[in-house]
Amino acid sequence: MAAVYWYCALAVLGAGMTVFILYKKKNFYEFISFFLFAMMVAFIGEMIVLLFLNGYAYKPGVFTDYYAEDIFGHVVPNATLWPATALLVIAYSLRYRWILLITVVFTLLDILFINLGIYQYNWWKTWMTSAAILFYCVLMKIWFVQLKNKRSGILRYITFWLILLVILKLPISLLLFLGMQHTIIGWFENIYRDSGVFSVFYNAALSFFGVFFICVLKKWYWKLVPFFIYFSCDAILLDKGILLFNGGWNLYYLMLVRTVCLALFIALENKYPYNPPPQHSQKYRDS
């Protein structure tokens, strides 16, 4: 079986888990918001290990470029299986023995991909994968409990900052894969690595301003400011020769994508309650 099918299988598994949980629990806006937050946490963690520290390499067999392969292999499981696992942990308030079982499953998947030759270690070790998924699940479990008990303040702002970041980042990654848009900043020689890393920092800055004007200031007219900031910043990058378009893609189409992303974020943030639930979330705690 071609390598990419194994990666697609992970994506289908993660998507299936997510749809099932959302259907069974009915708590759509809260859970989809946390799913996006958990996705960005996974992205950040692996970006450090993969793109900065070169800990391992993905081999899905989709691109000829080494870093394009890495970024594709990075996006697929981190956009599906990892956040779906976090959703499973928090939706069913899984105890630590179940988290240990999840750790074993991820470790076995790691070993399987190594033996299939579709993923390879550089300096990374199997036990590090085990430690990473264990830490990730425990962090998500604790974060959700704290967020559910205290829905306003710095914890909410950080959560929605990462939510907006992933909403902005995913379309940019897709455009990069399709060859329609990339950036040249000169941090790395490889265009995929250069564009991928820069877009995280750039969109993180845009997300900071977005959360400030949308979540912190709250008044409806402040919500219009991020649209102006995003369009202006993209126009400046284009003028400076940092942002480049191909295949008929242009700044106006990018503005449309930014508008949809911001509208989606505003809708999610408005639907996410500010007040804790009536009953204290003891059921989310471990005994």
- Report, as an integer, the average pLDDT of 60-70: 90
Q: Are the C-beta atoms of 144 and 90 separated by less than 8 Å?
A: yes
Q: What is the pLDDT of residue 274?
A: 64
Quick one: 84 and 206 in the same domain? Answer: no
Q: What is the pLDDT of residue 285?
A: 46
Quick one: 12 and 34 in the same domain? Answer: yes
Do the domain assignments include residue 51?
Answer: yes
Quick one: 109 and 235 in the same domain? Answer: no
The length of the chain in residues reads 287
Residue 223 burial by Cβ neighbours in a 10 Å radius (0-12, 13-18, 19+): buried
Q: What is the pLDDT of residue 219?
A: 85
Do the domain assignments include residue 281?
Answer: no
- On the question of pLDDT at 283 being above 80, the answer is no
Extended strands (E) in the chain: 56-58, 119-121, 181-183, 243-245
Q: What tokens were used for 167? A: 């909403």
Q: What is the pLDDT of residue 277?
A: 60
Quick one: 117 and 240 in the same domain? Answer: no
Quick one: 10 and 131 in the same domain? Answer: yes
Quick one: 83 and 73 in the same domain? Answer: yes
Q: What tokens were used for 9? A: 């299988």
Quick one: 19 and 129 in the same domain? Answer: yes
- Report, as an integer, the average pLDDT of 193-219: 92
Quick one: 7 and 90 in the same domain? Answer: yes
Quick one: 94 and 171 in the same domain? Answer: no
Do the domain assignments include residue 283?
Answer: no
Quick one: 178 and 270 in the same domain? Answer: yes
Q: Which domain holds residue 183?
A: 151-275
Do the domain assignments include residue 284?
Answer: no
Q: Are the C-beta atoms of 189 and 67 separated by less than 8 Å?
A: no
- On the question of pLDDT at 168 being above 80, the answer is yes
Do the domain assignments include residue 280?
Answer: no
Q: If pLDDT is split at 50, 70 and 90, which confidence band does 286 have?
A: very low
Q: If pLDDT is split at 50, 70 and 90, which confidence band does 273 have?
A: low
Do the domain assignments include residue 40?
Answer: yes
Tell me which DSSP letter residue 188 carries.
Answer: S
Q: Considering only residues 275 and 211, tell me which one the structure prediction assigns the higher pLDDT.
A: 211
Quick one: 71 and 201 in the same domain? Answer: no
Quick one: 133 and 168 in the same domain? Answer: no
What pTM value is reported for the model?
0.91
Residues 232-265 pLDDT 10s: 999 999 999 999 999 999 999 999 999 999 999 9
Q: If pLDDT is split at 50, 70 and 90, which confidence band does 275 have?
A: low
Do the domain assignments include residue 209?
Answer: yes
Q: Considering only residues 36 and 285, tell me which one the structure prediction assigns the higher pLDDT.
A: 36
Q: What is the pLDDT of residue 245?
A: 95
Domain ends where: 100, 132, 149? 149
Q: Are the C-beta atoms of 102 and 133 separated by less than 8 Å?
A: yes
Q: Are the C-beta atoms of 11 and 77 separated by less than 8 Å?
A: yes
Q: If pLDDT is split at 50, 70 and 90, which confidence band does 51 have?
A: confident
Residues 118-152 pLDDT 10s: 999 999 999 999 999 999 999 999 999 998 887 77
Do the domain assignments include residue 93?
Answer: yes
Count of the separate structural domains present in the chain: 2
Distance CA(24)–CA(1), nearest Å, equals: 33
Distance CA(258)–CA(168), nearest Å, equals: 7
Domain ends where: 115, 149, 183? 149
Domain ends where: 149, 181, 203? 149
What percentage of the chain reaches a pLDDT higher than 90? 78
- Report, as an integer, the average pLDDT of 54-66: 91
